[in-house]
Amino acid sequence: MKYIELAFLCLFLISTVSSKQGLRVSGNKLLDGNGEEFIFRGVNLPHDWFVDKTELSFNDIAYLGANSARIVLGSGDTFPKTPAREVEQIINLCEKHNLICVLEIHDFTGSDNPNDITDLSMKYWNELKDLLNEHKDYIIVNIANEWEGSWNKGSLWADTYKTAVQTMRKNGIENAIMIDASGYGQETGPIIRDAKSVLEADPNRNIIFSYHVYSVLGKDDDSLYTGLDGLKNTGVCWIVGEFGWFQNGGSVVYKTLTKYCHENNIGWIAWSWAGNAGNDKVLDLASPRTFSRNNLTGWGDYIFYSEYGVQRTSKLAYTYKTYSGETHPIVDEVVGVDIPVAPAGKNTSLEVPFDVGVFTDYDWKFGLNGDPDTPVEVTTFEKLSNGGIRAHVDLARENYPSLIVLNNDGYDLSKYKNVNLIVRNNNANTVQVDLIFKAGPTWTWYEPNTPYPYIDIPGMMTQFISFNIEKVGDDLKDIRQIAFRIQPSSGAIGNPVDFCHMGFDEDASDFVEELTEMNRPKSADYFTWAYPDTSALGTPEESIKLENGVISMEYNIENSQMYGGCQTETRPGTGLGLDFSNYKVIKATLTNKGTSNVHCNIVLKTGSGWKWQESAGAKTPGGPENQEQIIGGGQSVTVYYYLNHSFWKTQAVNWQYADKLTGLDDVRAISFKLYNGAEVVKGVFEISNFEILTKE
């Protein structure tokens, strides 16, 4: 027995060799501690959101052949802080399964604030310095997930990460470092232009760069090849740290990506094992109910079983073993996963509650791509109630339709600084509008709002937008053509786009009241309510229905630790929220068609961290809000949830009804949570008369 134990111990020590040289970059390759090339074939694991599932997740991805994992941690600034003891447990699991692990903090996703990188993230990593250095053969430090969500921010990405890298090395962190691209990991310009200078700022020259490939970078083969080849040609070391097969209402060329990575020896880490919410639920590799390898989704089948998937291309570090388990037939594509359906766009009314401004001072016509001589063939238009124009577009069939006005004598716009529009987007997905001038006797083309020529109009929103025209200079005295060009941001655009108002040098505050009312969700039909919260195990997903403004769902809640309910993202698939800062109350009628009492709270999830904030509401206007909301069997109650009252349950007040709601300008999701005290409860629950109000 002792000999057997000794042999096993020797085998274990060999498989978890610690060279103390650490993972290191050599040219465009990542080398393990023995100096052999390592190519990622891994999975992202959502540790900080599902701490109790982490060990099971590690066991199962290792069983299926993964050679690496990227782990979601929290610094405590947005998500719960992952303490050092948990990080040590994660590292032990990495080494137990011989997985190279990337540790990332998710708190600053989408932030453009350099302080989040150069100060807050530095503090977190510095606290873990000794632990990280001790395990540098297995651990890579991904400074922050998808920091700098905005595009076209010049040198912000490079300057910030140069400072961060130098700080980490000064603090004594020796590990290989990973840095995500800007633009939520999908912007190609800054990383291609500046990756080498960021690398050179590291005295250790030990940085891996990372793209995240979704429906922007991965929207088609040309976009993908341009981004990947551009970074490859810089000669730096890089991987795909996240990717999916569908996102933000658009498909991703995932098959092209995995083939490219195989042919070019590029590593990848798929997003993600389980537990995605809302429209991102299609990116679960395993069932969120079980987190088990025995319940892979169609996405999971592709990642592990495809021709270029984990089991056919993964090789472990240090032991260099390949997958030797049970073989599975090759999976050619993702099947069996329902693509989320975004709301189709609700508005059909031509009514506009304000004047058209100077819009009717011009004789508009349609052309393509700012060219009046190229007529539209698909796009049509009709008048709005105030004289504005509704453009009936189908941007999949005809892109860049443009509203155009010509004047051979020229318009003198030299006294203005800005052109203002109010545009209503009747689509679920974002539309972009660009201003084009042609000026002077040579009809010089200007997109005066450059470097940000296109302005987003979020789905199902009416928005005041402003184009700065000062860069046109003296040519403003002779504007021969004005054009507003329409294009999609992502996803299908087949519903009308309304040009409601035009003016010069106006103030958005003059239209706040009217726009707030136009954008106010007036019924549950405004949203999808398509998916329950991932943890809402007490409600079968297929039972959630929305019809004529009434949400219905089943509930079967077996204990006090379980809850059910329904949830909607406010701007499905965009990763962005709605601005509720001008709203005061959410009102809804709650009807319990079961026979037992059931508790019901509303949950708002706000900001990039989807901060959970919960309210019981009041049964009468102005009534008490700090009591459990219990709906008796067969009972129907109208409840008022006050957005500006300090009776919200949050982690900061230990889940008491005592906090003020934060993040009202960025409400990502709305949930209704059903739960009980101790008894088993089951039945049907309805939510009707849902409305968001501007006055208490």
* b/e per residue 330-344 (b: at least 16 CB within 10 A): ebeebeebeebebbe
Please list, in sequence order, all residues whose beta carbon lies within 8 angstroms of the beta carbon of residue 131, skipping any fewer than 6 positions away.
84, 87, 88, 91
Contact (CB, 8 A) for 528 and 568: yes
Angle at CA of residue 362, ends 358 and 366, nearest 5°? 125
Give long-range contacts, CB 8 A cutoff, 24+ apart: 450-455. 451/152, 452/152, 454/487
User: Both ends of the chain: CA-CA distance in Å?
Assistant: 76
Contact (CB, 8 A) for 662 and 598: no
Say what the alpha-carbon torsion angle 554, 272, 572, 184 is, to the nearest 10 degrees: 160
Quote the DSSP letter at residue 527.
Answer: S
Catalytic-role residue among 95, 174, 187, 242: 242
* b/e per residue 671-688 (b: at least 16 CB within 10 A): bbbbbbeeeebbbebbbb
Q: DSSP string spanning 169-181?
A: HHHT--S-EEEE-
- 595 C-beta neighbours (distance < 10 Å), count: 11
The percent of the chain in helix, strand and coil, each rounded to the nearest 5, is: 25, 30, 45
C-alpha–C-alpha distance, residues 501 and 147, integer Å: 36
Please list, in sequence order, all residues whose beta carbon lies within 8 angstroms of the beta carbon of residue 335, skipping any fewer than 6 positions away.
298, 301
Closest CA to 242 of 30, 32, 62, 45: 45
Question: Is there a catalytic annotation at residue 242?
Answer: yes
Contact (CB, 8 A) for 164 and 156: no
Closest CA to 208 of 14, 395, 454, 30: 30
Bridge-based pairing of strands 24-26 and 29-31 is antiparallel
Quote the DSSP letter at residue 273.
Answer: S
Question: Is there a catalytic annotation at residue 200?
Answer: no
Burial of 329 (0-12, 13-18, 19+ CB in 10 A): exposed
Give the rounded distance of the alpha carbon of 603 from its chain centre.
19
Closest CA to 180 of 80, 93, 110, 261: 110
Closest CA to 417 of 465, 472, 379, 366: 472
- 289 C-beta neighbours (distance < 10 Å), count: 13
Angle at CA of residue 583, ends 581 and 586, nearest 5°? 125
Catalytic-role residue among 146, 447, 569, 625: 146
Two tokens, residue 360: 């009717």
Burial of 596 (0-12, 13-18, 19+ CB in 10 A): middle
Two tokens, residue 687: 């939510």
Catalytic residue IDs: 146, 242
